[in-house]
Amino acid sequence: MNAMVDGFGRRIEYLRISVTDKCNLRCVYCMPLEGLDWLRKEEILTYEEIASVIGAMAPMGLRRVRFTGGEPLVRRDLHRLVRMTAEVPGIEDISLSTNAILLAGQAEDLRRAGVKRVNVSLDSLRPDRVDAIARRPDSFEKVMAGLDAAERVGFDPIKLNVVLIRDQNDDEVEDFAELTLDRPWHVRFIEMMPTGANLDLSDGSYLSCQEALDRVRAIDALEPVEGPSGNGPATYYRFPGAPGTIGVITPMSHNFCDRCNRMRLTADGHLRPCLFGDLQTNLRDPLRKGEDLRPLIEETLRIKPERHHLVRGSSAGSGGLVALSQTGG
């Protein structure tokens, strides 16, 4: 079987694809209230072009694809791209990262087209706080409707992504953990990463996953577990007998780059070997000229850095990235 192996011996079989840089929310840690300099329509890859990139990478060893953004569900008929992806030989798993605002209306189509599992961002269990963090009214009800639909259509596993923000949601760590006693959900606490747009917040309101775990352990003992399918960067735990798990994603306190298994495709067709840094390869222009993408993909694999160098309070390590929404998080 073909495999994409980088210069540090890591096998890359997973591509996170940002289908749009736009979003219907303005999460405090991610996107500035006024938005960003949006890409123009003609700069953004069409679904056919995205499918061509997937088609070029699958024979090289790509097995799993995740659609993300910006908010992927604001792009029209995403299920069409999912279906095209499911038809590429070699692709075994298609997943979605979403804020779930629009999920209730699309879950059925997405499931039928081939999405198996979803990650939903939810930073609080209190309606007023969700709206305040997302900076859009009525967000909570829509996300809950999206989660109901996700369960109904059978997305499995369902993972909840919770970015830890001191003084905005840190007193809910226990509530999130206790959710896993009732539901088969996988709650993942994420350490806030610095980007150009959030330097003050990501420094002043940073909370480590260690602190969150200490609070959770005060409720009951946690046992380390394998975690749900997906082999991501999270480390998982469970309360004894609980149907769900608690995961921690520690980009700031415990670097996990040695386990990295992914590359990223931006909405405007740049293949990025790392979420951070300024390394990227323009696939869009060669693709539009009908050139072979394989040597460009191999070159991107070759330059994949050993690790990121994020530093709290500094944009140096993020390589000019203003918001994670620009590269898909």
Q: Which stretch binds ligand SAM (CB under 6 A): 87-95, 110-118, 187-195, 233-241?
A: 187-195
Cα–Cα distance measured from residue 64 to residue 82, given in angstroms and rounded to the nearest whole number? 12
Structure tokens of 58? 């699958």
- Torsion sign (Cα): 207, 211, 217, 222: positive
Half-sphere exposure of 130 (CA within 13 A, CB side): 21
Structure tokens of 1? 């079987």
Instruction: Compute the residue count for the chain.
Output: 329
Residues 6+ apart with CB under 8 A from 160: 119, 120, 121, 122, 176, 179, 185, 186, 187, 188
DSSP string, 117-162: EEEEE---SSHHHHHHHHTSTTHHHHHHHHHHHHHHHT-SSEEEEE
Tell me if residue 285 falls in helix, strand or coil.
helix
Any contact of residue 190 with ligand SAM (CB under 6 A)?
yes
Q: Which stretch binds ligand SF4 (CB under 6 A): 68-76, 246-254, 284-292, 304-312?
A: 68-76
- The 159-178 contact track toward ligand SAM, x by CB under 6 A, reads --x-x---------------
Query: 9 to 68, contacts with ligand SAM by CB under 6 A?
Result: 23, 29-30, 68
Query: 6 to 65, contacts with ligand SF4 by CB under 6 A?
Result: 23, 25-27, 30-31
Question: CB under 5 to 8 A by kind: which of ligand SF4, ligand SAM, none does 31 bind?
Answer: ligand SF4
Q: For ligand SAM, which residue has the nearest CB?
A: 329
Question: 223, 249, 228, 225: which is closest to 236 by C-alpha?
Answer: 225
Among 20, 318, 325, 327, binds ligand SF4 (CB under 6 A): 325
Any contact of residue 228 with ligand SAM (CB under 6 A)?
no
| Residue 272 · residue 22 · CB < 8 Å | no
Cα–Cα distance measured from residue 150 to residue 144, given in angstroms and rounded to the nearest whole number? 10
Q: Please give the single-letter amino acid code of residue 6.
A: D
- The 86-115 contact track toward ligand SAM, x by CB under 6 A, reads -----------xxx----------------
Give the shortest CB-220-to-ligand SAM separation in angstroms: 26
Cα–Cα distance measured from residue 162 to residue 166, given in angstroms and rounded to the nearest whole number? 12
Closer residue to ligand SAM in complex, CB, 160/283: 160
Closer residue to ligand SF4 in complex, CB, 68/208: 68
Any contact of residue 197 with ligand SF4 (CB under 6 A)?
no
Which stretch of DSSP H or E encloses residue 247? strand 245-249
Q: Total binding residues for ligand SAM by CB under 6 A?
A: 21
Binding site for ligand SF4 (CB under 6 A): 23, 25-27, 30-31, 69-71, 99, 121, 325
Interacting residues toward ligand SAM by CB under 6 A: 23, 29-30, 68-69, 71, 97-99, 121, 161, 163, 190, 192-193, 195, 198, 202, 324-325, 329
